[in-house]
Amino acid sequence: MINGKRVLLIVLGGVLALVPWFTARSDVLNLLFLIFLFSTLASSWNILSGYAGQISLGHAAFFGLGALTTRLLWLAAGQPLGLSLFAGGLVAVAFALLIGVPALRLKGVYFSIGTLAMAEILRLTVSNRLPVVSALPAEHIAAYSLAPRYFLALGLMVLTLATSYLLSRSRAGLGMMAVREDEAAAQSVGINAFRHKLLALGLSAFFAGLAGSVFAHYHVSYYHALPFGPAWTFDALLITFVGGVGTLIGPVVGAVFFVLLRDVLAKTLVDIHLILFGSLFILVVLLLPGGLVEAWERILALTPKFQARYKFFHQIKSIRRTE
């Protein structure tokens, strides 16, 4: 990566880190928090589905387990917040490895249906066993502040993107992409397809679980089954497809598009905003199959004199190649 671009990313991160020092507006901090949270969730889904090619429809299970674990350890058991947050990611990984052995034996659409069924079973189980509202105690509500939640979500997003970047340039990441392109061909050259898919599932679940942990720390009250809802899976899927599947910055671009557009439509077109929102996403996916990142690259391709200047976008995009 060009040094100047690295400086630009550092400056951008610094600016985002300074936002709470310049404004205390809860609407601004909430909006940015949601962008960070959805960027993390979509990036975690992208590791499994974009890099390894395993389209999961049960990502909400990992998100929900992270939220449930953190909420129970932090509030019910009185454990330290840091330990509770990290435990959320670990429990999600443990569950992913448990179901990964049988689930990854399934191919294509059967894997997708299997993960969806798994997530729904987990959601119904939590809904039946814990049909109560989880609310912060009065002392936590009195001391509630958005700034720590903001920094936590920002840090998690940076960690997830850094991991995705390093993974896309590692032997393990290239092995995942080889499996994604042609599993039989990858195995013929000595790549253990199952091991690479299981690694992708574990990493994906870990960051999704951490995102759920941050969600649990952020919300004042909600039903325990809420983070297990299928919307968390399909939001991550839509965000990634709109931004660009298998790319590094695609989930971030998609998250910005998703959060800002949803906020605008919800305020201006209250009665029909969900219909318009869904229709716009369908149009983007149909007209821009490579997402907004690829659309930007096509625009740059039409202006050769600016290609060198914007080579950065090609360098941070995940390597797409067939082994």
Instruction: Name the more confident of 64 and 282.
Output: 64
Mean pLDDT, the chain, whole residue set: 87
**Ramachandran sector of residue 2 (left: φ over 0; alpha: ψ -120 to 50; beta: rest):** beta
pLDDT of residue 296: 73
Per-residue confidence band for 211, with pLDDT thresholds at 50, 70 and 90:
very high
* Mean pLDDT, residues 172-198: 92
SS3 content of the chain, % helix, strand, coil (to 5): 75, 0, 20
Predicted confidence (pLDDT) per residue in 227-237, tens digit: 999 999 999 99
* Half-sphere exposure for 307 (CA within 13 Å, toward CB): 6
Whether the pLDDT of residue 304 is over 70: the answer is: no
* Mean pLDDT, residues 200-223: 96
Predicted confidence (pLDDT) per residue in 119-169, tens digit: 999 999 999 999 989 999 999 999 999 999 999 999 999 999 999 999 999
* Mean pLDDT, residues 261-289: 74
pLDDT of residue 308: 53
pLDDT of residue 15: 86
Give the residue from 89, 50, 61 showing the smallest Cα distance to 241: 50
pLDDT of residue 73: 96
Q: Could you give the domains of the chain?
A: 27-315 (1.10.3470)
Q: What is the pTM of this model?
A: 0.88
Predicted confidence (pLDDT) per residue in 90-100, tens digit: 999 999 999 98
In whole angstroms, what separates CA 185 from the centre of its chain? 29
Pairing of strands 133-135, 221-223: antiparallel
pLDDT of residue 319: 44
What are the backbone angles phi and psi of residue 135, rounded to the nearest 5°?
A: -125, 145
Q: DSSP string of 224-278?
A: TTGGGSTHHHHHHHHHHHHH-TT-SSHHHHHHHHHHHHHHHHHHH-TTTHHHHHH
Instruction: Name the more confident of 5 and 211.
Output: 211
Give dist(CA 19, CA 154) in Å, integer. 11
Predicted confidence (pLDDT) per residue in 26-72, tens digit: 889 999 999 999 999 999 999 999 999 999 999 999 999 999 999 99
